[in-house]
Structure 1
Amino acid sequence: MASSDARAQTFGQTEINWDKLDKTKFYVVGAGIFTGITVALYPVSVVKTRLQVASKDTVERNAYSVIRGLLRTDGIPGLYKGFGTVITGAVPARIIFLTALETTKVAAFRMLEPFKFSETTQAALANGIAGMTSSLCAQSVFVPIDVVSQKLMVQGYSGHARYSGGLEVARMVLKSDGIRGLYRGFGLSVMTYSPSSAVWWATYGSSQRLIWRSLGYGINHGEAVPSLQKIVLVQAAGGIIAGATASCITTPLDTIKTRLQVMGHEKKSSVRQVVKGLIAEDGWKGLYRGLGPRFFSMSAWGTSMILAYEYLKRLCAKDE
Structure 2
Amino acid sequence: MNRPSSRVDSFVQTEINWDKLDKTKFYVVGAGLFTGLTVALYPVSVVKTRLQVASKDVAERNAFSVVKGLLKNDGIPGLYRGFGTVITGAIPARIIFMTALETTKIAAFKLVEPFKFNEPTQAAIANGIGGMTASLFSQAVFVPIDVVSQKLMVQGYSGHATYNGGLDVVRKVIKADGVRGLYRGFGLSVMTYSPSSAAWWASYGSSQRVIWRSLGYDGDSEVAAPSQPKIMLVQACGGIIAGATASLITTPLDTIKTRLQVMGNQEKEKRPSARQVVKNLMGEYGWKGFYRGLGPRFFSMSAWGTSMILTYEYLKRLCATDAE
TM-score (norm 1): 0.97
Q: How does 1:154-233 map to 2 (within 5 A)?
A: 154-220=154-220, 222-233=222-233
Q: Deviations over 1:66-113 (max 9, x none)?
A: 101100110000000000000000000000000000000000001111
Contact kept, 8 Å, 2:108 with 2:129, in 1: the verdict is yes
Cα distance between partner residues in 1 of 2:5 and 2:251: 38
Match of 1:96 in 2: 96
Cα distance between partner residues in 2 of 1:285 and 1:42: 25
Q: Structure 1 residues 319 and 13 mapped into 2: Cα distance closer, same or farther (>3 Å)?
A: closer
Contact kept, 8 Å, 2:45 with 2:297, in 1: the verdict is yes
Cα deviation for residue 223 of structure 1 reads: 3.1
Aligned partner letter, 2:223: E
Cα deviation for residue 4 of structure 1 reads: 6.1
Contact kept, 8 Å, 2:236 with 2:309, in 1: the verdict is yes
* 3-state secondary structure, aligned to 1:141: helix
Which piece of structure 1 moves more, 142-151 or 8-17? 8-17
The answer to whether residue 35 in structure 2 is matched with residue 43 in structure 1 is no
The answer to whether residue 315 in structure 2 is matched with residue 312 in structure 1 is yes
Runs (4+) of structure 1 exceeding 4 A deviation are none
Match of 1:57 in 2: 57
Contact kept, 8 Å, 1:177 with 1:265, in 2: the verdict is no
Cα distance between partner residues in 2 of 1:220 and 1:232: 23
Cα distance between partner residues in 2 of 1:147 and 1:55: 19
Aligned partner letter, 1:28: V
Match of 2:282 in 1: 279
Cα distance between partner residues in 2 of 1:130 and 1:294: 22
C-alpha RMSD of matched pairs (Å)? 1.2
Question: Aligned residues: percent identity?
Answer: 79
Match of 1:289 in 2: 292
Match of 1:110 in 2: 110
Match of 1:9 in 2: 9
Q: How many matched pairs? A: 318
Extract unaligned runs of 5+ from structure 2: none
Cα deviation for residue 202 of structure 1 reads: 0.2
Q: Deviations over 1:16-69 (max 9, x none)?
A: 111111100000000000000000000000000000000011111210111011
Cα distance between partner residues in 2 of 1:113 and 1:290: 39
Q: How does 1:12-23 map to 2 (within 5 A)?
A: 12-23=12-23
Cα distance between partner residues in 1 of 2:206 and 2:6: 16
Cα deviation for residue 159 of structure 1 reads: 0.4
Cα deviation for residue 114 of structure 1 reads: 1.1
Q: Structure 1 residues 217 and 8 mapped into 2: Cα distance closer, same or farther (>3 Å)?
A: closer
Aligned partner letter, 2:69: G
Cα distance between partner residues in 2 of 1:69 and 1:86: 22
Cα distance between partner residues in 2 of 1:7 and 1:198: 28
* 3-state secondary structure, aligned to 1:6: coil
Q: Deviations over 1:172-213 (max 9, x none)?
A: 000000011000000000000000000000000000000000
Match of 1:30 in 2: 30
TM-score (norm 2): 0.96
Cα deviation for residue 218 of structure 1 reads: 3.0
Cα distance between partner residues in 2 of 1:274 and 1:97: 29
Contact kept, 8 Å, 1:127 with 1:205, in 2: the verdict is yes
Cα distance between partner residues in 1 of 2:231 and 2:116: 26
Match of 1:270 in 2: 273
Cα distance between partner residues in 2 of 1:4 and 1:55: 56
Cα distance between partner residues in 1 of 2:288 and 2:201: 27
Cα deviation for residue 7 of structure 1 reads: 5.4
